[in-house]
Structure 1
């Protein structure tokens, strides 16, 4: 079972229906409304995984209609849902697992975590804003600046 299938199962257990949908705009990857997540049907599995994680984030953290991105409150809710998706699919421990697995670059890390490189890049940027240069997790140091790097402390 891949990550996308696991997310679908988690959504179902949480009372959220996930459907494939043909959107008329290429800009839309997914939408959440009233317990239903619509995912663009013509995407790759990693793209669907990333979109579904964010839409589940909306289910768990957002309220009301947040389509209008001119509203500061709506942009905050959008960011919160994305951060929820980053933590759900990647997280600091995911970066450590990828390092322990032997991943040496962003492509390998994204493939190992079953996310897109773009999603991984956005996640790292978000973590860089939140944690700064580095973050210590147990016996590991995760650097975000200048580039992603994970080291095991001795």
Structure 2
């Protein structure tokens, strides 16, 4: 899934790339509007957009103060939603079937940054443990490796 195809899935959202955002933010969701730092790379924008759509799908209200436990949990919920949207288990299987084995090849195919891919894998490892049997594959998360069964 590309940045553009992710945008196309949400025609009810206004998604704009902007020059300035509040300090420290790469993206912002508010009332069906997503703002993304236009100076980021395309892969970074894709990752940022997934998380901001995660806020649209999973959270509510102003959670900009992440010093509270409630808001931090909602931030993590949106981030995890983004991981599962653009680095889904199905997409990892697709990469395997296309013979993409290196981190660089997987990142290029999924159009995500290496850091985002690693964070996604850590999320799956936390959720499922070191491995998971899924749709006829054994998926290992440390390091990422798939075996068709």
| 1:77 paired to 2:74 | yes
Aligned counterpart, 1:102: 99
Q: Which residue of 2 aligns with 1:133?
A: 130
SS state of the match for residue 94, structure 2? helix
Gaps of 5+ in 2: none
Question: How far has the Cα of 1:43 moved from its partner?
Answer: 1.1
Is the Cα–Cα contact under 8 Å of residues 11 and 18 in structure 1 kept in the other structure? Answer: no
CA apart distance, 1:29: 1.2
Q: Aligned pair count?
A: 149
**Which protein, 1 or 2, shows the higher relative CO under an 8 Å CA cutoff with sep ≥ 6?**
2
Q: Does 1:152 align with 2:148?
A: yes
Structure 2 SS opposite 1:11: coil
- Measure, in 1, the Cα distance between the counterparts of 2:138 and 2:24: 36
Query: Is residue 3 from structure 1 mapped to residue 2 from structure 2 by the alignment?
Result: yes
Whole-Å Cα distance in 1 between the matches of residues 66 and 28 of structure 2?
Answer: 14
- Pairing 1:19-98 to 2, within 5 Å after superposition: 19-23=16-20, 27-98=24-95
Q: Give TM-score, length-normalised by structure 2.
A: 0.95
